Amino acid sequence: MTIQAFESPPSTGARTPKSNPMIPVNEPLLNEQDMAYVAECVRTGWVSSAGRFIDEFERGWAAYCGRRYGITVSNGTTALQLAISCLGFKPGDEVIMPTFTIISCALAVIYNGGVPVVVDCDPRTWCMDVTEIERKITPRTRAIMPVHIYGHPVDMDPVMDLAEKHGLAIIEDAAEVHGAEYLSGRNTNHSAWRRCGSFGTLSCFSFYANKLITTGEGGMVLTDDAILAEKGRSLRNLCFQPNRRFYHEELGFNFRLTNLQAALGLAQVERMDEIVSRKRWIGKEYTRRLKGIKGLQIPVEESWARNVYWMYGVVLSEESGMDAPAFALRLKQRGIETRPFFLGLHEQPVFHQKGLFLGERHPVAEHIARQGLYLPSGLALTPEQISQVCQGVHEVLT
């Protein structure tokens, strides 16, 4: 079933303490079932990285995304690091990624001895500009890392075609798009909706508290490749030998998730349709109330995409006479918390110090980094809070 079938308004209220006068940018929505699963871990003593929930969460999430194997890890950053480690990089191997993303994407490559290479983003979806990728391919390129941004999928068909043509791996970063869908093969007779996370040689997720599914901190790598899955499991757990513990032939990591965290994750996988439905309702409600404000760009949903509006981003045009920090301040004065957009990787001082991206310009990412922010978007947001936020936006901009 596709996600459109489940759109409905939120049915339960936020739990923000009355003492908090701000509408928070994110508030998770957890329930009795979450508590029951976590309590089971505490009651039975299975609180560390073994136990039934690890296995069930891995299987449940992999199945939801249409993949064969899931490998839970400690967070989304370590998911990316593990995925790249599975590919066995040589020093200087390159990965093409968007500049408009979190630093984790570049760190994962650098920690594996590789080099991040960046492209600008699409001005409508804010995802990587797929038309720029081919120009960046060199003999050192090993992988492309599409990063789905703020709930909207990357245009994956061109990425898949390029990867196939040039023999590259795909490390798909689906941290922000749990449950989002992409119409693959739209120019063929075999088009089909596919979930984000189903495209990568290895696909990565974060389950941080602001994600659609949260385990507090947590992450997962998905793949259909049995060899990569086995390698990932071994690397995640210090590369212990299965038949001889404390004997190591490779350098591994401790990236393990706990059974407690997996319990929380599994309970949410079981109500994923409801979670996606709620997020889409929040996104569409914002769009209904904010569309048409002069100088305000709001999220799109391309015809080939089903957006889950992980965070409802907005970008001010210069004609608004305001940049994002000024807008954020005016909203804060009205009790509305926001977050700035990413600053592009190519603008990060830490990378300049390492000689990366020197002199590079990516105008779309530079524009949205200065003019963009996201509004309160958590699952616990109520219709009343959405009204308040939209009223605040109208007051500031009109």
Ligand X SMILES: Cc1ncc(COP(=O)(O)O)c(C=O)c1O
Which spans of this chain sit near ligand X (rule: CB under 6 A)? 75-77, 101-102, 104, 147, 173, 175-176, 206, 208, 219
Residue 313 tokens, joined:
């981003």
- Is the CB of 315 or the CB of 322 nearer to ligand X? 315
User: Is residue 81 within 8 Å of 71, Cβ to Cβ?
Assistant: no
Nearest distance, CB of residue 330 and ligand X, angstroms: 26
Tell me the torsion sign for CA atoms 345, 346, 349, 353: positive
3-state SS class at 41: helix
Distance CA 104, CA 87 (A): 17
The number of helices, as runs of H, and strands, as runs of E, in the chain is: 12, 14
Residue 19 tokens, joined:
């003492």
Nearest distance, CB of residue 177 and ligand X, angstroms: 9
- Is the CB of 121 or the CB of 393 nearer to ligand X? 121
Nearest distance, CB of residue 220 and ligand X, angstroms: 10
- Is the CB of 27 or the CB of 176 nearer to ligand X? 176
Give the CB-nearest residue to ligand X.
76
Q: How far apart are the first and last CA of the chain?
A: 41
Residue 343 tokens, joined:
């600053």
User: Beta-carbon neighbour count of residue 65 at 10 Å?
Assistant: 21
144 CB contacts (<8 Å, ≥6 apart)? 95, 96, 97, 133, 159, 162, 163, 168, 169, 170, 171
User: Beta-carbon neighbour count of residue 309 at 10 Å?
Assistant: 26
Beta strands per DSSP E along the chain: 69-73, 94-98, 115-119, 141-144, 169-173, 181-184, 192-195, 202-206, 219-223, 296-297, 305-306, 312-316, 339-340, 372-375
- Is the CB of 104 or the CB of 184 nearer to ligand X? 104
Nearest distance, CB of residue 161 and ligand X, angstroms: 23
272 CB contacts (<8 Å, ≥6 apart)? 64, 178, 179, 212, 213
- The DSSP bridge partners found for residue 373 are 314, 340
User: Is residue 248 within 8 Å of 240, Cβ to Cβ?
Assistant: yes
- Is the CB of 65 or the CB of 175 nearer to ligand X? 175
Distance CA 267, CA 30 (A): 9
**Count of CA atoms in the C-beta half-sphere (13 A) of 206:** 24
Distance CA 66, CA 195 (A): 7
Angle at which helix 383-397 crosses helix 272-290, to 10 degrees, equals: 30
Nearest distance, CB of residue 255 and ligand X, angstroms: 11
Nearest distance, CB of residue 64 and ligand X, angstroms: 18
- Is the CB of 49 or the CB of 75 nearer to ligand X? 75
Nearest distance, CB of residue 219 and ligand X, angstroms: 5
- Is the CB of 75 or the CB of 307 nearer to ligand X? 75
- Is the CB of 233 or the CB of 339 nearer to ligand X? 339
- Is the CB of 128 or the CB of 390 nearer to ligand X? 128
Nearest distance, CB of residue 124 and ligand X, angstroms: 18
Nearest distance, CB of residue 369 and ligand X, angstroms: 15
Nearest distance, CB of residue 154 and ligand X, angstroms: 11
- Is the CB of 174 or the CB of 314 nearer to ligand X? 174
